Amino acid sequence: MNQNTRLNVAIIGSGNIGTDLMIKVMRNSRYLSMGAMVGIDATSDGLARATRMGVATTHEGIDGLINLPSFDQIRIVFDATSAGAHAKHNELLQQHGVKVIDLTPAAIGPYVIPVVNLKEHLAGTNINMVTCGGQATIPVVRAVSRVSRVRYAEIVASIASKSAGPGTRANIDEFTETTSQAIVSVGGAEQGKAIIVLNPAEPPLMMRDTVLCLTDADADTDAIRQSIEQMVKEVAAYVPGYRMKQDVQFDTIPADQPINIPGIGWVSGIKVSVFLEVEGAAHYLPAYAGNLDIMTSAALAAADQIAAQMIAAGQGGHHE
C-alpha cells in the first residue's frame, strides 16, 4: 500500500465541532485529506478558516456539497450538524456510495466507540459516534462488563456551559436517550442511565465524567481495576487529555442494607465509581471543551481506521 495515499473527506457543519475536526484531519490524520467544508452560514468562522487553509467550501449545505466539482472524489463525510438534519444528509450521501460518520445523536447507524467496537463496523455505510458523554464513559462501562456482570450503570457528564453550542442544546433529549441506549448495547450493562450537566461556572471548568456501575457482591475488584486502567490508556492514545482523576473506588452495598434504584428495585452488591476528566487539545476550541474534543478525536480515529481498510482494499478512487 502506498503510504502517501489518502482519502478525500468532507465535513458538513462549519461550527465548533466541524472546524476543530477539520484542523485535526489536516494536522493529525494518517489516511485522510480535507476535500470540502460545508456550512449554511456564508459568514461562519469555520468556512472562512477553511478557505484560508485552501479547502474547498460551500455555504449551500448538502446540495452545495453534491454540486461541487470535486464531490465525486469524496469518500467519507463527517456530519457535525444536528440529529434532525442528519437523516436527510445520510439519505442523499448513501445514494452516492459515500460512507458517513455521524457526530450527531441521530443514531441511524450503529453506535461506535473506537476502542470498544469499531472493528465490527469498519465496513458500515453509516456509523454513529454516540455523544461526548458516551465516548468518555462507555469505554469504562465496557471495561467493567468484560470482567464482571454490570446490573446497572449510570453516567453523569458535566461540561462547561460555554462549550455547549446551539446544536448540543437542541439535542439534550437525544443525548440522554442515545447515551443511555449505548451504555447497554455497547457498554454491556443490563440497564443504563445518562445525565448531562451544563455547568455555568466562570472560568469554565473542564469536562468531568462520573461512571457508576453496580456489580455482583462476588465481583473481582482487582480484575475490574486493571481492566479500567487498561481501557483508559487505550482511549488516551487518541484523546491525550483523557484521564482518571483518582483511583477506582469500590463500595460494598450489603444485602441487609440494599439501595433502591428506580426501575430496578432494591439491590445490593459492589458499586464501582470512576471519576474522569477530559482536557481538550485546544486545536480550535478552548482546552476546557473536552466534550467537543473527544467527539472530534473519536471521529478522526474511526475514520482513519476505515480509510486504512478502504485503501488496502483498493477503494481509494472515485465513489459511485
Query: Letter for the amino acid at 29?
Result: S
Say if residue 34 is in the same domain as residue 160. no
Per the annotation, the verdict on 132 as an active-site residue is yes
Enter the C-alpha cell of residue 176.
Answer: 440522554
| Alpha carbons 37 and 58: distance in angstroms, whole number | 7
79 found inside a domain: yes
Q: Which residue has the cell 445490593?
A: 268
Say if residue 190 is in the same domain as residue 224. yes
**Alpha helix positions (H), 99-211:** 114-117, 132-145, 166-170, 172-185
pLDDT digits (tens, 9 = 90+) for 209-239: 999 999 999 999 999 999 999 999 999 999 9
Check: CB of residue 224 under 8 Å from CB of residue 247. no
At residue 4 the predicted structure's pLDDT band, cuts being 50, 70 and 90, is low
Say if residue 266 is in the same domain as residue 298. no
24 found inside a domain: yes
DSSP at 171: T
At residue 319 the predicted structure's pLDDT band, cuts being 50, 70 and 90, is low
Is 142 a residue whose pLDDT tops 60? yes
Is 64 a residue whose pLDDT tops 50? yes
| Containing structural domain, residue 112 | 7-129+294-312
Say if residue 146 is in the same domain as residue 216. yes
318 found inside a domain: no
CATH code, 97: 3.40.50.720
Say if residue 116 is in the same domain as residue 156. no
Say if residue 137 is in the same domain as residue 279. yes
At residue 251 the predicted structure's pLDDT band, cuts being 50, 70 and 90, is very high
Is 105 a residue whose pLDDT tops 80? yes
160 found inside a domain: yes
Catalytic residue (choose from 93, 107, 132, 205) = 132
141 Cα distance to chain centroid: 15
Write down the mean pLDDT value for the chain: 94
At residue 166 the predicted structure's pLDDT band, cuts being 50, 70 and 90, is confident
CATH code, 197: 3.30.360.10
Q: Which residue has the cell 436517550?
A: 177
Question: Domain tally for the chain?
Answer: 2
For β-strands 249-253 and 269-278, DSSP reports them as: antiparallel
